[in-house]
Structure 1
Amino acid sequence: MNSERPIPAPIVYNGLLGEIVKTLEPGTEADPVGVLGSIMTGFSAYIGNKAHLRLGYDRHPILVWAILIGRTSKGKKGSATGAAMYALNMLDKQFYDNETVRGLASGEALVRAVADPSYDEQQEALEAGEELEVGGRMAFVIDPEYGMTMLRSSGGSTLSGHLRNAWDGGNLVNATKKETLKATTPHVAVLGHITPREFRSRMSDRELSGGTYNRYLILHVHQSKLLPPTVKTDEKKLRRLVDKLRVNAEKARQVEEMSFAAEAEKYWNEYLRPQIQEEDPEDEVLEQFTARRDPYTLRLAALYALADGRDVIERDDLNAAHAVYTYSMKSIEFTLQEAAPRLDGVTRRGKSEEWQEALRSALIAAGDEGLPRKELARVVGNNVSASHLDQLLASLPVATKPGRSTGRGGRPPVVTYWVGNDQGDGYV
């Protein structure tokens, strides 16, 4: 199973955020991608809600939410977040001391953490010659027991609705007989920890279809190495990098709408976005997890740019963001694949032979036109992972080529076609 773990592309460690992760890496046993996800989430909370992307009519705050999925002790989830907090506390210890929320007990608790000052509080401030700021309160939620949050959300509480609104950057309102709490355009980033088994067992169809889970980056993490107790981080280099990040964060807090470099916008429209569309998961459950892949990729790209002191998204930002989101997709697939029932050898061989025969018949019938990936997945009833489908196809006499253009621009889809004889018992 270890060899099947997803591995992020090196470009995820691009820019200043990546340099900080690489500087922290020698001093922790945590997975570097877990450290990266933790820093991204914490930094996105710090920069506030002023910087945003405008996608159509939708305003997207530059918020990143992550869930670190790893086995107890071996996943080193806490170590990953601990390493990230070491750097973030260098950035602004007062902020993270005051604005970090531990756990998500309820929807009311979330709203209360970022609620506007009450009328009485505002009046008292005015009488004292002060004026309290209303709206835009920031919070960094670290939830080491995210399994309990999933359980609460699936039970019909207000928590899931408040979480979805918070990711969207909308207002939060919690009304009871005693009081009405309102948070105007709060800026909340959420970082959760959970084991694979908990995640699979607590998944709710209602939350999946409602869009709660696709607001998170799902990052599989595991222990990266064993360290002796005397290994230390290059403190001088780390402080220099964090000092630079602090300067860039102050710039980011003044940024309003993000823009694209001309070359990056063309690259996104003509190449990367069509490529992302082609990467649609074949499994319907995976498809629900990735429904926000376009805006999420752009949020990540914007965060890379802001961390580097820019309000303009460049091509490298897009590629790094795409690599992070691709890793998240692979992490989801890996986590859910582990949940599949383990068949005995005879049953597994029998099913594989059945699926091979179904693929053979479908490909022979398709002829030179071939079949795109989605159609091949449907042939086997969307019952196998992408890697298993690759294994099935590798056992057959097939080849790939560009298919017909969809007419929507971008590259034509890749199709698989039969190159064996008509009886399907070997190559021509």
Structure 2
Amino acid sequence: MHPGQPPVSAPEHPFASDETDLHRNAPVPDPACLYGLVGEVARAGSKGNESNPYAIATNFLAYLSCAIGRGTFLQIGNTEHHPRIFSLHVGRSGRGRKGDSLALVMKLDEFIRAQSPVLCPQIHRGGLSSREGLAALIHDGFQQGSQEVPAIEDKRLWVVESEFANVLQQSRRKGNTLSTALRDCWDGVCIKPTTKNNRVFASNPHVCLSGAITPNELTALMSSKDLSNGFANRFLIIWAERTKITAFPQPTPPKEIEYLATRTQEVLNFAKADSYLENNWLQMELSPPGKWHYGQMYRNILAQDLGNERVSAILERRAPMLLRLAIVFALCDLSTKIEIAHLDAALAWINFCSDSVQYVFSTAKESALTERVSRNSHLLLQYLTDRGQSSRSDILRECFKGHLSKLEIDACLDHLLNTSPPQIQIRQVPRVEGKPGPAALMYSLV
């Protein structure tokens, strides 16, 4: 089933129109995603072949964020944000060109590793199966019989899961805590053993992940538990398939690989990626214009409730994800100041992720209904701003001129009452003395 079409067995929405258009375009990313060095790598890797430049860019972002390490950080409140990125490339089998989107990034790593291996992270190409197996890749040392196994000092680990369905399947097994361990890694929390017999610890992990999966596998294997426990919303999920058909793809010229690898090496040297034993020594800052710009984003775009509960759960961590991306974009400009341009590039990725998640996890009909609820909610907010407060019947009669059904009004009110924080509130107003009936419910802005 194509993700843009609704399943045959999908229940009819109570106020869905039979005329709802069930066709829609695949997500189209903003070219602003391809900012700076990230864009140069993406364009070079897709030139003359079928690779999607945005898929290449997500893999490069994940690789670069891993190589930079946790010495670089941005302080927001009491939280220290390190540039750890989990990306998930979604595309249909044979059309996503998932393997091709990794090829250039691997060549860049190979070139840098030959020049200065200490700048490069450990790479694990798939096959994660358990919390213990993940911890063993960056362990703190352990006793094996009479032998002392020394600790792995470099905690930078880039996991490449070309078959991300494997991770989701392993996580569904009873007693398996792989998804919990990956959540801890995204947060930068130490991986501790789950049993007394296992003594493999991994402190201060800096794990980044590049995954690839088909839409059918993702929707079938992503459980409600993955949504509720925050596993899904730690991923930058993008829809990317080939943009052209080329029978004879051209390789990236060696001179271009050398140039891009040298540029990448400059970024890693600037971030002192070889100082991986130290944590939180290079502090990033939002410039004054950047701070103002992020404040506007946070209160508006990043605070939007997208209506669909499942989609909203997957996009819950847009704000910290945006900051992590902005850190990488700033470092690519050899700067510790995060400027408006870096935030805009990061926001373009967040918007692309939002569009991709809605495309994969919502049918065309559900997306149309969500958009309609959002549009009606905006009209109601404007009405209550002018009116102050209003009853439900007045909202129907005066705000929507009687054109909305009871169910549509309820969907609109529920949406505004359940945003975080709520945008409207309900008050009971006593009836005029002498008039029968219960107290009236009045709706007003919070």
Q: TM-score range by the shorter chain?
A: 0.7 to 0.9
Determine the C-alpha separation between the residues in 2 that align with 1:330 and 1:39: 21
**What corresponds to 2:90 in structure 1?**
69
Determine the C-alpha separation between the residues in 2 that align with 1:304 and 1:291: 22
Distance 1:197 1:377, change over 3 A: farther
Pick aligned residue for 1:144 from 162, 170, 176 = 162
Matched, 1:192 2:211: yes
Determine the C-alpha separation between the residues in 1 that align with 2:363 and 2:91: 12
SS at match of 2:27: coil
- 1:3-402 paired onto structure 2 within 5 Å: 4-92=25-113, 98-118=122-142, 137-156=155-174, 157-176=176-195, 178-229=197-248, 231-252=250-271, 253=273, 256-269=282-295, 271-338=296-363, 364-365=396-397, 367=399, 378-379=411-412
Asked whether the 8 Å contact 2:123–2:157 carries over to 1, the reply is: yes
SS at match of 1:309: coil
Determine the C-alpha separation between the residues in 2 that align with 1:173 and 1:362: 58
Amino acid at match of 1:9: D
After superposing the two structures, state which structure 1 stretch, 82-91 or 291-300, moved more: 82-91
Determine the C-alpha separation between the residues in 2 that align with 1:119 and 1:64: 32
Deviation at 1:101, TM superposition (A): 3.8
Deviation at 1:43, TM superposition (A): 1.2
Deviation at 1:4, TM superposition (A): 1.0
Determine the C-alpha separation between the residues in 1 that align with 2:107 and 2:236: 22
Provide Cα deviations, 1:3-33, integer angstroms capped at 9, x if missing partner.
5100110110001111111122214312111
Asked whether the 8 Å contact 1:166–1:188 carries over to 2, the reply is: yes
Provide Cα deviations, 1:334-370, integer angstroms capped at 9, x if missing partner.
00125989xxxxxx9xx99x99xx9999974352899
SS at match of 1:77: coil
Determine the C-alpha separation between the residues in 1 that align with 2:249 and 2:233: 40
Determine the C-alpha separation between the residues in 2 that align with 1:283 and 1:296: 20
Deviation at 1:314, TM superposition (A): 0.9
SS at match of 1:90: helix
Distance 1:263 1:230, change over 3 A: closer
Provide Cα deviations, 1:90-118, integer angstroms capped at 9, x if missing partner.
33365769533422111111111111123
Determine the C-alpha separation between the residues in 2 that align with 1:154 and 1:340: 30
Provide Cα deviations, 1:270-291, integer angstroms capped at 9, x if missing partner.
x222222453211111111111
TM-score by length of 1: 0.75
Amino acid at match of 1:215: R
After superposing the two structures, state which structure 1 stretch, 208-217 or 45-54, moved more: 45-54
Determine the C-alpha separation between the residues in 1 that align with 2:248 and 2:189: 46
Deviation at 1:160, TM superposition (A): 1.3
Determine the C-alpha separation between the residues in 2 that align with 1:376 and 1:237: 58
Determine the C-alpha separation between the residues in 2 that align with 1:279 and 1:379: 14
Asked whether the 8 Å contact 1:143–1:192 carries over to 2, the reply is: yes
Asked whether the 8 Å contact 1:49–1:136 carries over to 2, the reply is: no
Provide Cα deviations, 1:221-259, integer angstroms capped at 9, x if missing partner.
111112242624243233223202101112213652211
> How many residues align structurally?
362
Distance 1:257 1:98, change over 3 A: closer
SS at match of 1:324: helix
Determine the C-alpha separation between the residues in 1 that align with 2:269 and 2:151: 19
Determine the C-alpha separation between the residues in 2 that align with 1:63 and 1:366: 50
Deviation at 1:119, TM superposition (A): 5.8
Once superposed, what is the RMSD of the aligned Cα atoms? 3.5
SS at match of 1:172: coil
Distance 1:320 1:97, change over 3 A: closer
Determine the C-alpha separation between the residues in 2 that align with 1:378 and 1:235: 57
Determine the C-alpha separation between the residues in 2 that align with 1:197 and 1:203: 10
Asked whether the 8 Å contact 2:24–2:364 carries over to 1, the reply is: no
Structure with greater helix share of residues: 1
Determine the C-alpha separation between the residues in 1 that align with 2:33 and 2:155: 29
Deviation at 1:85, TM superposition (A): 2.0
Determine the C-alpha separation between the residues in 2 that align with 1:340 and 1:81: 34
Amino acid at match of 2:269: E
Amino acid at match of 1:19: E
Determine the C-alpha separation between the residues in 1 that align with 2:141 and 2:397: 68
SS at match of 2:200: strand
Determine the C-alpha separation between the residues in 2 that align with 1:311 and 1:376: 48
Provide Cα deviations, 1:198-233, integer angstroms capped at 9, x if missing partner.
100111111111000000001111111122426242
Determine the C-alpha separation between the residues in 1 that align with 2:217 and 2:397: 43
SS at match of 2:311: helix
After superposing the two structures, state which structure 1 stretch, 304-313 or 1-10, moved more: 1-10
Identity %: 25
Deviation at 1:46, TM superposition (A): 1.0
Determine the C-alpha separation between the residues in 2 that align with 1:377 and 1:236: 61
SS at match of 2:74: strand
Distance 1:46 1:277, change over 3 A: closer
SS at match of 1:182: coil
Amino acid at match of 2:338: I
Distance 1:151 1:230, change over 3 A: closer
